Amino acid sequence: VDLSTTIAGVKLPNLLLNASGVNCRFENELQQLVESKSGSLITKSATLNSREGNPEPRYAPLAGSIGSINSMGLPNQGYEYYLNYAKNFDYNNTAGKPLFISLAGLSLAENKTMCEAFRDANLPCVLEVNFSCPNVPGKPQVGYDMEAMEQALQVLDPIIGRPFGIKLPPYFDIAHFDQAAAIFNKFDNVVFVTCINSVGNGLAIDLDSETALIKPKDGFGGLGGLLVLPTALANVNAFYRRLKPGKQVIGCGGVTSGKEVFLHILAGASAVEIGTQLMEEGTGVFERVQKELVELMTAKGYKSVEEFRGKVKTL
Ligand SMILES: O=C(O)c1[nH]c(=O)[nH]c(=O)c1I
């Protein structure tokens, strides 16, 4: 069974990788991903300067393993740390794993500076511009401001000057799928979108203590895990149906096993990111989920993901 895929012109030996933000802030964590059975890896979203992020507790699993809530607040080592990592990355590693870099500038100016630096370094890594961080107080998500998102792309696309992707928030209105896809279809370098980032500003409360699970923002944070699966599948399929041929969708959201990876591919995903389940289980999740996906494909008679990608049936 062939699980390989190609994103932005780079080959992934298998279609699984981490969701940006999980197990990828520090070099030792990134090395764990390199050594894992993932097909590639992506760094924690970077800002111009390093950040401590929000006060803890800022992440919590939800009762009944239905998902997670986080308001990390963009803790990262600053973009130069990840630029240096990308300069030293072994692109000829035996596993053949490519490297993705996530950028989440707090302003267009920050994103411009970071994209210029990566352009000047001219490295084989692939950029994923994060327009969807829901947890920086006072910073509304660019992904929910269509005009700002288009303006940002008008500035960043020519600077990046090569295929790149965008990490999107979940949309919940068909008009928003239409508007966002129409924007991305204007930029030839935007070759993939990653759907979805966490479902912003949920509130998880502990029944016994009657207290919010996380400290920042009165307990408001992004939701991930199984509970966001139907929203993730809808966003993957909505953009799969709307984006021009040649543009791809990376699925993210609700993956706990091979089953959900299969569903993301059926919805149209060319690669699939794992966040909450990686946070809870560790990097062994990639081997387990891959085995389950192969078993499921074999049971269904599929030899490659191309045979069923995007082929979700409707009634
Ligand atoms: O709070 C975070 O650091 C964070 N948390 C998320 O759930 N998504 C994001 O894109 C980010 I940048």
Average pLDDT of the segment spanning 221-230? 98
**Residue 72 in contact with ligand 1 by CB distance below 6 A:** yes
All structural domains of the chain with their residue ranges = 5-54+74-200+225-307
Instruction: Report d(CA 145, CA 235) in Å as an integer.
Output: 17
Q: Answer yes or no: CATH 3.30.465.10 is held by domain 5-54+74-200+225-307.
A: no
pLDDT greater than 90 at residue 61: yes
> Complex ipTM above 0.90?
yes
Distance of CA 46 to the CA centre of its chain: 13
Q: Could you tell me which residues are beta bridge partners of residue 17?
A: 273
Query: Are 131 and 111 contacting, i.e. CB atoms less than 8 angstroms apart?
Result: no
For the chain, report the end-to-end CA distance as a whole number of angstroms: 29
Cα 38 to Cα 16, 33, 79, 93, distances in angstroms: 5, 7, 23, 13
Q: Return the pLDDT at 139.
A: 86
> Tokens at residue 124, please?
């084989």
CA 314 – ligand 1 centroid, Å: 33
| 229-242 and 174-184 helices, crossing angle to 10° | 50
Atom 11, ligand 1: which residue's CA is nearest?
133
Question: pLDDT tier at 185 (50, 70, 90 boundaries)?
Answer: very high
Backbone angles phi, psi at 257, to 5 degrees: -160, 180
pLDDT above 90 coverage of the chain, percent: 98
Mean pLDDT of 248-266: 99
Q: Output the CA 45–ligand 1 centroid distance in Å.
A: 8
At 137, the pLDDT band (50, 70, 90 cuts) reads confident
